[in-house]
Amino acid sequence: MKENSFVSSDEIRAAFSAAMSAMYRTEVPAYGTLMELVGQVNAETLAADPDLQARLEDTDSLERISEERHGAIRLGTPAELSMMRRVFAVMGMHPVGYYDLSTAGVPVHSTAFRPVGDASLKKNPFRVFTSLLRLDLIADETLRTEAEQILSKRQIFTSGAVALTEKAEREGGLDKADAERFVAEALETFRWHDKAKVSPEMYQRLHDAHRLIADVVSFKGPHINHLTPRTLDIDAVQARMPDHAIAPKAIVEGPPTRKCAILLRQTSFKALEELVSFQAADGSWHAGSHTARFGEIEQRGIALTPKGRALYDELLNASRNIVRPAADGSNAAAYEKALAEAFVPFPDTWAGIRAEGLGYFAYSLTAKGRKTKVDAAKSLDSLIEGGLVQFDPIVYEDFLPVSAAGIFQSNLGDDAAQEFVASPNQQRFELDLGAKVLNEFEHYAGIEQASIADCVQMLSCAEAAE
């Protein structure tokens, strides 16, 4: 049977994530150094906290962590975005969430392509933060038209990648040989090209309009601009980066250090200045440079409910009203202090977060629960109190717009700070994407509900052993 010979989309994604990591490691050696440091810190964290290790093992999430990473790309046209969606779909990665970064002075809007569903996430949670350039936010109309023309001429996908994507769509999957070819072909889109597609003058004009516009328009493709391993202790990695000759950005983005990690904390090291050559109208090549690619690490915590997220946003804003982090790090200590103080009202125990309905949890039976039969009418709280059901935080799999803006900014330099009027346009984005983006809250709520339903079902048919 044909279907039986298909490789699962989870396996294709895992192979692609590994191939991307290997490629980026050779392109940006500091990424390899960071991976090793993260590996060390994770091993130390687990050794020092057997409880954490046991919970991660129990919830089948230990294995995914060492393989876990996200990347980011910036696309130039609607056609590129919709084709990218189809390529990612072959790997079981779907658009989740809409992020408007115009408010932060970055002329893009974005989504995250990632696996959805508990089983796929456990297999390999690789995600790619994908931005689409918004030329409509560029004031200079001549430049906008020229940029559009340059972009319309490029083809960021190999013909093999397109053909195999179409084949997967037509036949419902890819066999082993095709899947291997697909991974190699798709990887080409993300490769770095040190020969720009534009003249030195055009690069300068694009750069003057916004560094990010130059990054998107000047090149043959949307080079992967960072890959981010997941750490279990971001403060430790941040503190130890300088020992490994890596200079981290001034502050960690996101919530403060806490016992119970919430959402997402991220930090990065600055983009490298890389040698690039530009081709003049007479065909001659000219040496120049471009800063694009950097490294980042992240620590993931519990996914918050809309109520929890509103509280997070409120507290983050409150702290930023007191101290706004300066790019040069001069007020980093004051910022950290204000952040920690602002977050005092956010409960810092799992039970507290659960009691106030701030986070999503996965419920499972305890050893006692597995041996007990209970009538279905009992409330979840009483099952927990009775020691039959336990709960674990559901990991936040998405991104945070304020943090993303901070990461963008730290790599664009201070001079790039520009004001745009906030203009979210999810409808336009979805039209260009050719699909709707998934609502992240509904997704987490679904995972939580399914875990509760499983417990209830298992309790009502469990064989009472004693």
**Options 113, 126, 203, 399; binder of ligand OOG; rule CB under 6 A:** 399
Residue number of the CB atom closest to ligand OOG? 404
Contact 206, 217 (CB under 8 A): yes
Q: What mask of x and - would describe binding to ligand OOG in positions 276 to 315, judged by CB under 6 A?
A: --------------------x-------------------
Q: Which of 28, 143, 135, 124 is nearest to 69 (CA)?
A: 124
Residue 293, both tokens: 């690619």
**Options 65, 404, 437, 447; binder of ligand OOG; rule CB under 6 A:** 404
Contact 37, 206 (CB under 8 A): no
Angle at 237 between CA 192 and CA 187, to 5 degrees: 20
- In angstroms, the CA 127 to CA 114 distance is 4
Site for ligand OOG in 41-80 (CB under 6 A): 72, 74
Of 100 and 296, CB closest to ligand OOG: 296
Site for Ni ion in 294-313 (CB under 5 A): 296
Least Å distance, CB 88 to Ni ion, is: 16
Indicate whether 190 belongs to the interface with ligand OOG (CB under 6 A).
Answer: no
Indicate whether 408 belongs to the interface with ligand OOG (CB under 6 A).
Answer: yes
- In angstroms, the CA 84 to CA 107 distance is 19
Q: What mask of x and - would describe binding to Ni ion in positions 198 to 237, judged by CB under 5 A?
A: ------------------------------x---------
Q: What mask of x and - would describe binding to ligand OOG in positions 256 to 275, judged by CB under 6 A?
A: ----------x---------
Least Å distance, CB 230 to ligand OOG, is: 11
**What phi, psi does 413 have (nearest 5°)?**
85, 160
Indicate whether 198 belongs to the interface with ligand OOG (CB under 6 A).
Answer: no
Report helix, strand or coil for 280. Answer: coil
Least Å distance, CB 80 to ligand OOG, is: 14
- Using CB distances below 5 to 8 A depending on partner kind, what does residue 74 bind out of ligand OOG, Ni ion, none? ligand OOG
Q: Which of 250, 254, 247 is nearest to 271 (CA)?
A: 247
Of 402 and 456, CB closest to ligand OOG: 402
Total interface residues for ligand OOG by CB under 6 A: 12
**What phi, psi does 410 have (nearest 5°)?**
-65, -20
Residue 452, both tokens: 């509760």
Indicate whether 102 belongs to the interface with ligand OOG (CB under 6 A).
Answer: no
Indicate whether 407 belongs to the interface with ligand OOG (CB under 6 A).
Answer: yes
Of 178 and 296, CB closest to ligand OOG: 296
Indicate whether 403 belongs to the interface with ligand OOG (CB under 6 A).
Answer: yes
Contact 223, 71 (CB under 8 A): no
Going by their DSSP bridges, the two strands 264-269 and 295-300 should be labelled as antiparallel
- In angstroms, the CA 8 to CA 176 distance is 9
Burial 232-259 (b: 16+ CB within 10 A, else e): bbbebbbebbeeeebebbbbbbbbbeee
Indicate whether 182 belongs to the interface with ligand OOG (CB under 6 A).
Answer: no
Please report how the helices 78-90 and 426-433 are oriented relative to each other, as an axis angle in degrees rounded to 10: 60
Where do contacts with Ni ion occur on this chain (CB under 5 A)?
Answer: 228, 296
Where do contacts with ligand OOG occur on this chain (CB under 6 A)?
Answer: 72, 74, 129, 131, 225, 266, 296, 399, 403-404, 407-408
